[in-house]
């Protein structure tokens, strides 16, 4: 059995009526009776189904696509190619100024990952759509592919982006940089130099409900889109931009999601399903199969992180240099943004006076990565905390003590030059040690996050 208890450590007197109380879930009755309506539970008379023709190879040139056999499948309605998509090349973070556009809704003349959509087939039933997809004849010329982030940055690697590199450009730089203090001076002063490389794997969100939407033409000329996106307006606005229709033409309905974890922040099914509804005049459902969710939908990106720390005999970390590579897969999605978030956090919740960070967003021939729970910080926390143990082991210090000594306090400057104002790292460490029955020494128990004890 598991226990979670609350220890109210603050001085604030609780005088609330309902905040702070464990009231029952508002949606609970709907969930336990199966009456909550998820997107896949929505259907309309005359609703059509959309399925994607996908690349069977990791990297290649599209020489020809032959739909003639697919068109003969009973129930086939129509095919959509890149020529049907008004603004086919997009990038989802354009709404917050991230560019340039680089991902096609449907591939034009090249595919960059296995599973990349090449054409959409709309049919009267899901089975007919799948059957028609299986009859499309693809003539592709396979190209060399690259899967390793560092291989992708070497001269001679297949270049995946029109701007001629396999990395995202941050205001003229190859990577997101953080520069604080003088890291080389710190290394020169340090008693120990401790280096390690950390790796993480791509991970699937695996929500129990797959990504889905239904787009329905309305009598007033608008389109209602029922979707399980995590971000309703974000998805609608991107859809309007891709389809080049006035925003007022679209009406998005959602709010109930069968598991998100970041995987449903991409704008993937809605634009093409809405286009299909426009081109056919019928409601259109596009629901990922489980196989698509696993093999095609975005993943948590894999990371490789090189750490080099300068540490004093007393345990103080005085310099940290990190070179990180995020495997964005074939396209941006949210990874350029994750890399900046990573750069802000990869020094960890510690005060380190000299920090140097280069964080790269790298493209490979892999299914695109995107947002997932923890987003850039998950790999950072992993690497930092394993490195803390390595430092403790190397210099012969207790793993608790190394963290207490270096924990940031209110008033400390973080490497991205924001002053810490709400530190509680020492407090959670003390509480966790107590819960685990680990007796901390008196000099650590005296520490707190409100200011730094005099040396």
Q: Which of residues 24-63 bind another protein (CB under 8 A)?
A: 24-38, 40-41, 43, 58
Task: Indicate the SS3 state at residue 93.
Answer: helix
Alpha carbon separation from 114 to 107, 327, 335 (Å, rounded): 12, 15, 19
Instruction: Give the one residue of 69, 159, 188, 206 binding another protein; rule: CB under 8 A.
Output: 206
- Looking at residues 229 to 248 of the shown chain, list those that interact with another protein (rule: CB under 8 A): 229-234, 236
CB 361 within 8 A of CB 336: yes
Q: CA dihedral defined by 415, 417, 419, 423, rounded to 10 degrees?
A: -30
Q: What are phi and psi of 384, to 5 degrees?
A: -60, -45
Query: Per CB under 8 A, does 365 bind another protein?
Result: yes
For the bound state, the minimum distance from the C-beta of residue 176 to another protein, rounded and expressed in Å, comes to 7
Options 144, 259, 281, 441; binder of another protein; rule CB under 8 A: 259
DSSP 132: H
Q: Which two tokens stand for residue 336?
A: 């350029």
In the block, residue with structure tokens 């540490």: 311
Q: Is 443 in the site for another protein (CB under 8 A)?
A: no
Question: In whole angstroms, how close is the CB of 262 to another protein at the nearest point?
Answer: 6
Which residue in the set 243, 357, 361, 447 belongs to the binding site for another protein (CB under 8 A)? 357
| The only residue of 74, 100, 144, 399 in contact with another protein, by rule CB under 8 A | 399
Residues binding another protein: what is the number (CB under 8 A)?
151
Q: In the complex, what is the shortest distance from the CB of residue 273 to another protein, in angstroms, rounded to a whole number?
A: 16
Q: Which of 65, 143, 193, 377 binds another protein (CB under 8 A)?
A: 377
CB closer to another protein out of 241 and 257: 257
Contact track, another protein, 168-197, x by CB under 8 A: --xxxx--xxxxx---------------xx
6 interacts with another protein by CB under 8 A: yes
Residues 79-138 that bind another protein (CB under 8 A): 96, 114
Q: How far is CA 45 from CA 124, 218, 272, in A?
A: 11, 13, 20
| Residue 372 neighbours by CB distance under 10 Å | 23
User: What pairs with residue 61 in β-bridges?
Assistant: 110, 141
Max alpha carbon distance in the chain (Å)?
81
3-state secondary structure of 362: strand
Q: What are phi and psi of 325, to 5 degrees?
A: -125, 120
The smaller minimum CB distance to another protein, of residues 310 and 329, is found at: 329
User: Would you call the peptide bond into 448 cis, given omega within 30 degrees of 0 as the criterion?
Assistant: no
Q: Least CB distance from residue 285 to another protein, whole Å?
A: 11
Interface characters, 405-434, with another protein (x: CB under 8 A): --x-------xxxx-xxxxxx-xxxxxxx-
80 or 371, CB closer to another protein? 371
DSSP string, 365-385: SSSPEE--TTTTHHHHHHHHH
344 contributes a contact to another protein by CB under 8 A: yes
> Is residue 445 a contact residue for another protein (CB under 8 A)?
no
Does residue 439 touch another protein according to CB under 8 A? no
Identify residues 273-332 at the interface with another protein (CB under 8 A): 289-291, 294-295, 299, 302, 327
Question: DSSP letter string over 170-211?
Answer: BTTBSSEEEEES-HHHHHHH-SEEEEEEEE---EE---SSPP
Nearest distance, CB of residue 81 and another protein, angstroms: 26
């Amino acid at each position: 059995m598991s226990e979670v208890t609350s220890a109210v450590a603050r001085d604030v007197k609780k005088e609330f009526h309902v905040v702070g109380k464990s009231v029952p879930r508002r949606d609970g009755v709907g969930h336990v009776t199966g009456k909550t309506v998820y997107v896949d539970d929505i259907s309309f008379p005359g609703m059509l189904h959309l399925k994607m023709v996908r690349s069977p190879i990791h990297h290649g040139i599209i020489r020809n696509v032959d739909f003639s056999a697919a068109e003969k499948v009973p129930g086939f309605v129509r095919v959509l190619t890149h020529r049907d998509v008004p603004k086919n090349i997009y990038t989802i973070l354009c709404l917050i100024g991230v560019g340039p556009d680089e991902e096609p809704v449907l591939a034009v003349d090249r595919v960059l990952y296995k599973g990349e959509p090449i054409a959409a087939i709309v049919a009267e039933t899901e089975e007919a759509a799948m059957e028609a997809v299986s009859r499309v004849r693809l003539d592709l010329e396979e190209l060399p592919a690259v899967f390793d982030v560092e291989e992708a940055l070497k001269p001679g690697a297949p270049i995946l982006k029109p701007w001629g590199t396999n990395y995202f450009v941050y205001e003229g730089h190859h990577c997101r940089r953080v520069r604080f203090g003088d890291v080389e001076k710190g290394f020169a002063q340090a008693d120990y130099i401790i280096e390690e490389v950390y790796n993480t794997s791509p991970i699937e969100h695996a929500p129990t409900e797959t990504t889905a939407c239904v787009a329905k033409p309305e009598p007033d000329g608008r389109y209602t889109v029922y979707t399980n996106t995590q971000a309703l307006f974000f998805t609608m606005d991107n859809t309007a931009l891709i389809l080049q229709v006035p925003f007022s033409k679209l009406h998005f309905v959602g709010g109930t999601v069968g598991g998100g974890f970041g995987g449903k922040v991409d704008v993937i099914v809605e634009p093409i399903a809405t286009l299909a509804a426009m081109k056919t005049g019928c409601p259109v459902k596009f629901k990922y199969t489980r196989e698509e969710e696993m093999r095609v939908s975005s993943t948590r990106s894999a990371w490789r992180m090189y750490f080099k720390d300068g540490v004093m005999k007393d345990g103080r970390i005085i310099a940290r240099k990190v070179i990180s590579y995020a495997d964005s897969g074939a396209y941006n999605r949210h990874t350029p943004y994750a890399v900046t978030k990573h750069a802000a956090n990869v020094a960890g919740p510690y005060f380190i006076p000299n920090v140097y960070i280069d964080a790269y967003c790298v493209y490979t021939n892999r299914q695109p990565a995107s947002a997932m729970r923890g987003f850039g910080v998950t790999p950072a926390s992993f690497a930092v905390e394993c490195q803390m143990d390595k430092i403790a082991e190397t210099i012969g210090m207790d793993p608790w003590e190394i963290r207490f000594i270096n924990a940031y306090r209110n008033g400390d400057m973080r490497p991205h030059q924001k002053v810490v104002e709400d530190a509680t790292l020492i407090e959670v460490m003390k509480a966790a040690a107590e819960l685990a029955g680990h007796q901390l020494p008196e000099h650590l128990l005296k520490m707190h996050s409100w200011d730094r004890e005099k040396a």
